[in-house]
């Protein structure tokens, strides 16, 4: 292949056919010694520094890219300090505008003491108790959240598909270059049927939609109960890992005597299992399916205490 004839990829193509996305799609892909990436018809062509090249399906990589942008990340990924779920920004004229903090507190055992978490706590106080600060202008408020030195979180408006849908970089980049993404994903060799099928995706909106589904399911279960004090209850506790990027430890207990039940009346769910942060979404919905009302044990079940063995929660 003559390198002189290779057309430089546009922004959308660079993001879709990136080395990381090719590797996600084709597990045996060798990401070393790559000279450049080009496109021809329905193929993505990877040319090596020695002049050799391999061809890969553009459609397969597109599926990976689009799914990866809108993937559901773990439950703790978007929680603020003290297991804070998305916080309604009351100064917004939009009825649903949420501050979604980055889950830095749960990255490691010690990350709750990091400067970023300290900044998050300060911002929570301001949003909750200091309306006189007048973060009325949405763009200024977004700039505050997205300040790279603070790295606190994002503003999400789940009912909007414009520039205020999510303030994260991934979503904004897809909006800015929306026509290029539509041309690539909805064109002759694209995976989407038409341009109307394309919407920018991001992990924060995907997370919020799943959280909203969970929250609504909890309300439906509670409303179906004869009293406001459910007897079938399940609660979870989480111990972050020692090393960032590794798995933490998730513990689930359940009782048929209400969330105020004494410690002796709670049982460990499936003690033979070793659960982690990636399991919680699934088990929250399992609790609901079996008509157990879920609780965050850290914040609502103070009567339960643990002994800590190698940073794992051990029910005593």
Is there a single domain that holds both residue 259 and residue 307?
Answer: yes
CA dist 231 and 259 (Å) reads 7
Is there a single domain that holds both residue 117 and residue 48?
Answer: no
CA dist 102 and 236 (Å) reads 20
Confidence grade of residue 315 (pLDDT, cut at 50, 70, 90): very low
**Which residue, among 298, 301, 287, has the nearest Cα to 221 in the 3D structure?**
287
Q: Is 69 part of any domain?
A: no
**Beta pairing partners, 101:** 153
Query: Which one of 38, 61, 84 terminates a domain?
Result: 61
**Which residue, among 270, 205, 275, has the nearest Cα to 247 in the 3D structure?**
275
**Beta pairing partners, 80:** 84
Interval 297-314: pLDDT, tens: 999 999 998 765 555 565
Q: Is 219 part of any domain?
A: no
Is there a single domain that holds both residue 232 and residue 307?
Answer: yes
Q: pLDDT averaged over the chain?
A: 90
What's residue 123's pLDDT?
87
What's residue 194's pLDDT?
80
| Residue 2: pLDDT over 70 | no
| Residue 269: pLDDT over 80 | yes
Q: Which domain holds residue 235?
A: 228-315
What's this model's pTM, rounded to 2 decimal places? Answer: 0.91
Is there a single domain that holds both residue 120 and residue 153?
Answer: yes
Query: Which one of 61, 91, 109 terminates a domain?
Result: 61
CA dist 194 and 311 (Å) reads 51
Q: Which two tokens stand for residue 210?
A: 């799943």
DSSP string for residues in 50-71: TS-EEEEEHHHHHHHHHHHHT-
CA dist 148 and 126 (Å) reads 19
Is there a single domain that holds both residue 109 and residue 155?
Answer: yes
Number of domains in the chain: 3
Is there a single domain that holds both residue 79 and residue 162?
Answer: yes
Interval 170-218: pLDDT, tens: 999 999 999 999 999 997 888 998 877 889 999 999 999 999 999 999 9
Q: Is 152 part of any domain?
A: yes
Confidence grade of residue 263 (pLDDT, cut at 50, 70, 90): very high
| Residue 38: pLDDT over 70 | yes
Q: Is 220 part of any domain?
A: no
Q: Is 97 part of any domain?
A: yes
| Residue 270: pLDDT over 90 | yes
Confidence grade of residue 141 (pLDDT, cut at 50, 70, 90): confident
Query: Which one of 208, 242, 273 terminates a domain?
Result: 208
Could you tell me if 49 and 119 are in contact, meaning their C-beta atoms sit under 8 angstroms apart?
Answer: no
Q: Is 234 part of any domain?
A: yes
Is there a single domain that holds both residue 41 and residue 97?
Answer: no
What's residue 128's pLDDT?
64
Q: Is 196 part of any domain?
A: no
Is there a single domain that holds both residue 115 and residue 36?
Answer: no
Could you tell me if 276 and 249 are in contact, meaning their C-beta atoms sit under 8 angstroms apart?
Answer: yes
Per-residue burial over 248-279, b = 16 or more CB atoms within 10 Å of its CB, e = otherwise: bbbbbbbbeeebebeeeebeebeeeeebebeb
Is there a single domain that holds both residue 52 and residue 80?
Answer: no
Q: Is 18 part of any domain?
A: yes
Residue that wins the pLDDT comparison between 221 and 90: 221
Interval 70-129: pLDDT, tens: 999 999 999 999 999 999 887 666 778 999 999 999 999 999 999 999 999 988 887 765
What's residue 93's pLDDT?
66
Is there a single domain that holds both residue 92 and residue 34?
Answer: no
Is there a single domain that holds both residue 162 and residue 81?
Answer: yes
């Amino acid at each position: 292949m003559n390198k002189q004839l290779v057309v430089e990829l546009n922004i959308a193509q660079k993001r879709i056919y990136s080395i990381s996305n090719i590797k996600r799609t084709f597990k045996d892909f060798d990401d070393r010694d790559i000279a450049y990436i080009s496109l021809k018809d329905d193929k993505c062509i990877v040319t090596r520094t020695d002049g050799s090249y391999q061809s890969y399906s553009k459609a397969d990589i597109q599926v990976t890219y689009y799914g990866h942008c809108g993937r559901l990340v773990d439950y703790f990924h978007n929680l603020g300090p003290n297991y804070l779920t998305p916080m309604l920004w009351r100064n917004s004229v939009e009825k649903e505008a949420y501050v979604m903090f980055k889950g830095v507190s749960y990255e490691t055992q010690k990350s709750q003491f990091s400067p970023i978490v300290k900044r998050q706590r300060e911002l929570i106080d301001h949003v909750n108790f200091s309306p006189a600060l007048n973060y009325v202008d949405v763009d200024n408020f977004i700039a505050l959240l997205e300040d790279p030195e603070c790295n606190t979180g994002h503003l999400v408006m789940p009912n909007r598909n414009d520039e205020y849908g999510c303030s994260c970089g991934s979503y904004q980049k897809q909006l800015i270059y929306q026509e290029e993404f539509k041309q690539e994903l909805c064109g002759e060799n694209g995976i989407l049927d038409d341009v109307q099928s394309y919407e920018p995706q991001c992990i924060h909106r995907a997370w919020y939609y799943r959280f909203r589904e969970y929250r609504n399911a909890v309300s439906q279960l509670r409303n179906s109960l004869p009293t406001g004090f459910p007897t079938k209850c399940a609660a979870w506790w989480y111990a972050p890992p020692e090393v960032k990027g590794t798995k933490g430890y998730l513990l689930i207990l359940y009782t048929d005597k209400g969330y105020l039940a004494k410690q002796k009346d709670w049982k460990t769910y499936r003690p033979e299992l070793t659960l982690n942060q990636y399991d919680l979404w699934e088990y929250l919905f399992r609790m609901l399916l079996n008509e157990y009302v879920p609780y965050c044990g850290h914040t609502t079940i103070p009567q339960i205490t643990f002994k800590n063995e190698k940073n794992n929660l051990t029910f005593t």
